[in-house]
Amino acid sequence: GNITEEEYISSSMSFTMLTSLFMVIAIVIFSIGLSGAMKVIRQLAWDEPVFLKDDFLSGIKQNSKIFIFIGLIFGIISLYNNFITMSINESILKYLSVGVSYCFVYPILAIACMIAPVYIIKFGQVLKNSMFFYIKCVLRLGIGFLAGVIGNHF
């Protein structure tokens, strides 16, 4: 049948927001597996013996809480950015929110994913250390991260 433009926009927004909500759940599940994989990668980088199943499971046991929090933050910010992008037509807020996420929040969370398996510290300390590291190396990390993001979008 025929639908009006308003009905189309409404159903499109509903589908996008529902998909984004499921994406948050998927990111959290992915982050649990990532915590185990990062432990294996750490073992390989330090040239230590790797027992894939044991190291993967011990990585989940050691780091899953931190990675779940990182995944939740990433997912919620992505959900918020999708909501802002869909609800605001033409405003600087739309681009400011996404820009701040790509320039500051996502790189800090990426650094936190690299720090978490190396040091046995609490989540707040992981975020604090990753923020300090990002601020110290903002030009090198920020430009490289943006180049990767821009390369993936075009």
DSSP state of 104: I
Label residue 154 by pLDDT band (50, 70, 90): low
Q: For residues 56 and 39, give the distance between their C-alpha atoms in angstroms, rounded to a whole number.
A: 6
Handedness of CA 11, 12, 13, 15 (dihedral sign): positive
Does the pLDDT value for residue 127 go beyond 70? yes
pLDDT value of residue 98? 84
Q: How far is CA 106 from the centre of its chain?
A: 6
CB 52 within 8 A of CB 24: no
Number of CB atoms found within 10 A of residue 142's CB:
15
Predicted confidence (pLDDT) per residue in 46-105, tens digit: 999 999 999 999 999 999 999 999 999 999 999 988 888 887 777 777 778 888 888 889
Q: What is the pTM of this model?
A: 0.81
